[in-house]
Structure 1
Amino acid sequence: MPITQLIGKAQIIEVPYPQTVTDNFLSSRLKNIKIAIFKFGGDRLDREHPYFSIKGVRYLIQKGIRVVGTDNFNIDSKTTEWQIHHMMLGQEMMIVETLFLEKVLPGVYEFICLPLLIKGGEASPARALLID
């Protein structure tokens, strides 16, 4: 996947606890962009984190989202056994997890994410920036 896919306009969408990201949730919020970043409040480790539903992921795919970011450690619920990961990666969507979004307000920003190039790797640490 080209690194240019990780650079562009991104929308920060706040997801209130305990909301699940469904197609209905997205239909009234998602703008015409290719990078969607979800602010779940990932700094709260003392509870089950919000997650994506299968219908929500299908909606993202239908809308042409290429990158999904989140402040959570995982985009799957504890019960989906990586199904959400597999759906997104099967569509060549990139997933960026554990973003620090504590002080970021919802809106549209320029997003730049620079992962390390690791030979044979399937994941990488990355430096991600939002520019207002």
Structure 2
Amino acid sequence: MLYDITRTLTPRSAVFPGDTPVSITPTLQRRAGDSCNVTAITMSAHAGTHVDAPRHYSDDGAGIDAVPLDVLIGPARVVTLEAADAITIADLQNVIGDLLHAIRAAPRLLIRTRASHIPDDVWDDTFAHVDPQAADWLGANGLRLIGTDAPSVDPAASRALPAHRAFLRHGIIIIENLRLQGVPDGEYELLALPLKIAGGDAGPARVVLRRCAP
């Protein structure tokens, strides 16, 4: 079974305050006598579901075109932490149990929070973020990718971005703005393919989960 966990992009898609809104404009239309339909799109690379590149928070970091595909495809685990504000290792251990074993079995972690219930056109800056110490612990113990249904792994008002930087130190790739509503907790195969933008600080992505056989 496949789960599409990508948020649909529309001109009403909520973006970080001050970021470029999504614009989808027809430039050719068959009904206007043109030979085909063509659309121009203007948007932030961080609008909707997207993969952050290391370049996003480091001038020396790799662009999205250089993120290894083997990080973006492979075993992943979905967990639910809807009550958390700052996601800690204790929170993860409470829902997973043997966290080390879980990471070794599926080194990609997708966290469903209350943000999955927020409509795509609503901005809510009270989303749950990842505690930087948890980010360091996960990196030190083999995690390769972290995904969240929130717009960021750091608080909306953060300028230092400590969780982003902790994940960067360990080479962990971040996916943000997932839509995990209706996806049961458990193990899956993750397929997360961002647009291949040269030197890009992020890439909009279509992200899919394939249910692992029991």
Same fold (TM over 0.5): yes
Matches within 5 A, 1:30-49: 30=99, 31-32=102-103, 33-42=106-115, 43-44=117-118, 45-46=123-124, 48-49=126-127
Compute the displacement of 1:20 (Å): 2.3
Give me the CA root mean square deviation: 1.7
List gaps (5 residues or longer) in structure 2.
Answer: 1-66
Deviations 1:3-56 (A, max 9, x none): 111111100010122342112122342313210000012133546111111221
Which aligned segments of 4 or more residues in structure 1 are displaced greater than 3 angstroms? Answer: none
Q: Any residues of structure 2 matched to 1:8-87 within 5 Å, and which?
A: 8-28=74-94, 29=96, 30=99, 31-32=102-103, 33-42=106-115, 43-44=117-118, 45-46=123-124, 48-78=126-156, 80-81=158-159, 82-87=161-166
- Cα distance in 2 for residues equivalent to 1:27 and 1:103: 22
CA distance in 2 between counterparts of 1:66 and 1:95 reads 9
SS at match of 2:203: coil
Percent of residue pairs bearing the same amino acid type: 28
Alpha-carbon displacement from aligned partner over 1:36-81 (angstroms, at most 9, x marks no partner) = 0000121335461111112211221122111000111111023542
Which sits farther off after the overlay, 119-128 or 42-51?
42-51
1:2 maps to 2:68? yes
Q: What TM-score do you get using the length of structure 1 for normalisation?
A: 0.90
C-alpha distance in structure 2 between counterparts of 1:18 and 1:78, whole Å? 15
Aligned length: 132
Structure having the higher Rg: 2
1:99-128 deviations in Å (ceiling 9; x for gaps) = 111111111111011111101112100111
1:78-99: CA deviation from partner (whole Å, max 9, x where unpaired) = 3542111111123211100111
What amino acid maps onto 1:107 in structure 2?
G
Q: 1:89 is paired with a residue of what secondary structure? A: helix
